[in-house]
């Protein structure tokens, strides 16, 4: 199977202020092109476009193509589940909306601190395993925005998971907050193939600073900025599928072209991407170099560089109530004995240690406002 998946999270809209107003006609054309070019993997989820993502898939694909010409992935929305009796109705609704009799791939959606009620208080894993035994699911896996340790624990507890969907892109690869590389390594350790989400970091890597773009264009004038990001993830041996989330026919055309002519990155290109990463990181909000000199100074055990890494990541995304980074902060906050930003007593012991002279207590206040919101269950 070719490595490009049609991620249906950001479909074209008729009204940009209405997430449910999917432009079904354009989605039909996108699906036609995708299948015509020999790609087959569609990725949907229960909450995308308030349910219209699953409907768009049915209209564009299920009602117009034979069942053996495509594969579909759907996801159980753990973050919406608070009781056992929701499971069967949601699963039935998903089958009805998509119009299929079974899912080729089914994922427990975002297994992390954000959704723990949905799989600790309710046996969602057991439910999904039962659906697999019934033949309603062919392959069962999970997606997560948790960190590497979290993923390791989950895969140890649930060896029956066949694959994982992870956030991986060249900017997050070595990020202390997102831990893309570490999560990828955990998946490899557990022998789980990896599907990739956010290869462009929510579109951020489609529009890099001019000096970074110049580096890419000087090396290869014909390669788009996007193609560098896609080739980075597709070059990873254990990545079997990349979800791109195209929002228009033109974007999908470009993604298809990139994957049709795919060649793995060479050493020189990896070096260029490292420089690109440095340029992007030099334009960030808090100029923390992650030297960790402040770590031992904090009596509240606040992992300052980790928190600043998450904060910087959040600041380059569009504001939204839920973001993968906010989710990662919530996971961090649940670690035993981890100090969080609101634990900061403004003692300033860290400030003396910081070679970058960052006003750490001041930034911590903004970190609290950014992440410790009621939405994530913090008391404001």
Binding site for ligand SF4 (CB under 6 A): 288-294, 297-298, 300, 302, 304-305, 344-350, 353-354, 356, 358, 360-361, 364
* Nearest distance, CB of residue 346 and ligand SF4, angstroms: 5
Q: Is the CB of 254 or the CB of 313 nearer to ligand SF4?
A: 313
CB of 339 to ligand SF4, least distance (A): 7
Identity of the residue, 99 or 361, whose beta carbon is nearer to ligand SF4 in the bound complex: 361
Residue among 18 and 346 whose Cβ is closer to ligand SF4: 346
Least Å distance, CB 35 to ligand SF4, is: 49
Task: Quote the CA–CA distance of 239 and 201 in Å, as a whole number.
Answer: 17
**Residue number, 41 or 311, with CB nearest to ligand SF4:** 311
Distance of alpha carbon 295 from the chain centroid: 28
Q: In the complex with ligand SF4, which residue's Cβ is closer, 208 or 302?
A: 302
Question: At which residue do the structure tokens 């030099």 appear?
Answer: 282
Nearest residue to 264 via CA among 222, 224, 234, 239: 234
Q: How far is the CB of 147 from ligand SF4 (least distance, A)?
A: 18
Q: How far is the CB of 167 from ligand SF4 (least distance, A)?
A: 23
Q: Which is nearer to ligand SF4, 143 or 312 (CB)?
A: 312
Instruction: List Cβ<8 Å contacts ≥24 apart for 372-380.
Output: 372/333, 372/340, 372/341, 372/342, 373/321, 373/326, 375/321, 375/322, 375/326, 376/114, 376/326, 376/327, 376/329, 376/330, 377/330, 378/333, 378/342
Whichever of 196 and 344 has its CB closer to ligand SF4, that residue is 344
| Angle in degrees, CA 323, 291, 299, rounded to 5 | 80
CB of 185 to ligand SF4, least distance (A): 23
Query: Which two tokens mark 225?
Result: 């900025």
Q: At closest approach, how far in Å is the CB of 269 from ligand SF4?
A: 29
Considering the complex, state which of residue 265 and residue 349 has its C-beta at the smaller distance from ligand SF4. 349
CB of 273 to ligand SF4, least distance (A): 23
DSSP SS3 for 137: strand
Which residues lie below 8 Å from residue 104, measured CB to CB, with a gap of 6+? 71, 72, 73, 138, 139
Cβ of 167: how many Cβ atoms within 10 Å?
Answer: 23
Q: How far is CA 365 from CA 286, 296, 342, 345, 372, in A?
A: 13, 20, 7, 10, 10
Q: Minimum Å distance from CB 328 to ligand SF4?
A: 18
Spatial distance between the Cα atoms of 39 and 259, rounded to a whole number of angstroms:
10
Residue keyed to tokens 């100074």: 297
CA dist 75 and 134 (Å) reads 17
What's the min distance (Å) between Cβ of 224 and ligand SF4?
34
249 or 284: CB nearest ligand SF4: 284
Indicate the residue among 184 and 311 with the shorter CB distance to ligand SF4: 311
Is there a contact between 312 and 290 (Cβ–Cβ < 8 Å)? no
Distance CA 359, CA 367 (A): 13
């Amino acid at each position: 199977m070719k490595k490009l998946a049609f991620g249906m999270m950001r479909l074209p809209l008729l009204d940009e202020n209405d997430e449910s107003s999917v432009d079904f006609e354009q989605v039909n054309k996108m699906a036609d092109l995708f299948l015509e070019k020999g790609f087959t993997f569609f990725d949907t989820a229960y909450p995308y476009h308030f349910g219209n993502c699953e409907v768009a898939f049915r209209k564009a694909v299920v009602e117009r193509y034979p069942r053996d010409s495509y594969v579909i992935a759907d996801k159980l929305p753990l973050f919406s589940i608070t009781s056992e009796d929701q499971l069967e109705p949601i699963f039935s609704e998903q089958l009805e909306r998509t119009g299929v009799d079974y899912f080729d791939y089914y994922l427990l959606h975002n297994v992390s601190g954000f959704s723990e009620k949905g799989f600790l208080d309710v046996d969602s894993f057991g439910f999904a395993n039962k659906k697999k035994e019934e033949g309603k699911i062919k392959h069962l896996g999970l997606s997560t925005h948790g960190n590497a340790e979290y993923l390791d624990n989950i895969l140890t507890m649930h060896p029956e998971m066949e694959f994982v969907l992870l956030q991986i892109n060249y900017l997050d690869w070595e990020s202390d907050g997102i831990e893309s590389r570490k999560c990828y390594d955990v998946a490899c350790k557990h022998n789980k193939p990896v599907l990739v989400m956010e290869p462009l970091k929510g579109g951020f890597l489609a529009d890099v600073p001019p000096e970074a773009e110049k580096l890419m264009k000087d090396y290869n004038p014909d390669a788009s900025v996007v193609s560098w990001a896609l080739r980075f993830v597709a070059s990873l041996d254990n990545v079997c599928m990349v979800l791109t989330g195209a929002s228009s026919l033109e974007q999908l055309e470009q993604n298809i072209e990139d994957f049709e002519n795919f060649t793995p990155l060479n050493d020189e290109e990896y070096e260029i991407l490292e420089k690109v990463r440095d340029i992007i990181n030099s334009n960030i909000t808090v100029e923390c170099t992650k030297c960790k000199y402040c770590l031992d100074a904090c009596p509240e055990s606040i992992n300052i560089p980790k928190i600043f890494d998450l904060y910087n990541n959040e600041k380059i995304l569009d504001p939204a109530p839920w973001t993968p980074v906010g989710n990662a902060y919530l996971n961090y906050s649940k670690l035993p004995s981890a100090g969080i930003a609101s634990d900061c007593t403004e003692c300033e012991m860290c400030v003396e240690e910081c070679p970058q002279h960052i006003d750490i207590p001041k930034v911590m206040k903004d970190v609290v406002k950014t992440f410790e919101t009621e939405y994530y269950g913090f008391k404001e």
